[in-house]
A and B are shown apart, each in its own frame.
Chain A
């Protein structure tokens, strides 16, 4: 990946840092989903909670897919393309939806 960029490689390693930032963010979302599953297991598995928990896992997969696509785009040879607003909005909506599921699980 980095070899493909060859001599035009950015000495500030900006694409690499951005890729790692995406990885850190997926890691943070993984912790949140684990806490959600823990809340579900300790809450006696009510039907609404199971739906919210399943939705949390689904949203986590969505976020993983978004991050994966972005990481791929950044790893491509040549000048990296910038993030599209739609991509950013999708990542944000995943986070907001997880918060809504969390509210359902907590109450």
Chain B
């Protein structure tokens, strides 16, 4: 499907552009007008809330490793790594979404929408179910 492929390429180039913006604050300032500082601060708080979510996932990874010591090593390491990976994704997404929102506000465009919250909820639900299964079955093993 050429349409979907082109969309994906566009998505990747957009992400690369955003990553460049993380380290080039002057570039974001050149675009559009400065929004009301209260909107910028609200965006910053959202970014921090996502960062806390990332930190909580990382803490969850540690907790699985330390507070389920009777579990088989493979299960424990797998669950812990899954939570840590989710934390990394969440942190990277936090800054990316912050940049996109900041730019949209400067240009006066609609704020970016995202599938990420739904995806993260699904991952957390799956990890929670896996944890229940592991705790019920892993103790015998």
Residues of A within 8 A of B (CB): 10, 12, 14-15, 17-18, 21-22, 24-25, 28-29, 31-32, 35-36, 38-39, 42, 79-86, 88-89, 91-92, 95-96, 98-100, 102-103, 105-107
- Closest chain A residue to B66, Cβ basis: A39
Top 6 nearest A-B pairs by Cβ distance? A89-B22, A82-B40, A35-B62, A84-B25, A92-B95, A28-B55
Name B102-120 residues within 8 Å CB distance of A.
102
Interface size on B, residues (CB 8 A): 43
- B: residues with CB less than 8 A from A are 21-25, 28, 34, 37-38, 40-42, 44-45, 47-49, 51-52, 54-56, 58-59, 61-63, 65-66, 77, 80-81, 84-85, 87-88, 91-92, 94-95, 98-99, 102
* Contact in complex: A92, B51 (CB < 8 Å): yes
Residue of A nearest to B90 (CB): A95
| A interface: dominant SS | helix
* C-alpha gap A89/B140 in the complex (Å): 45
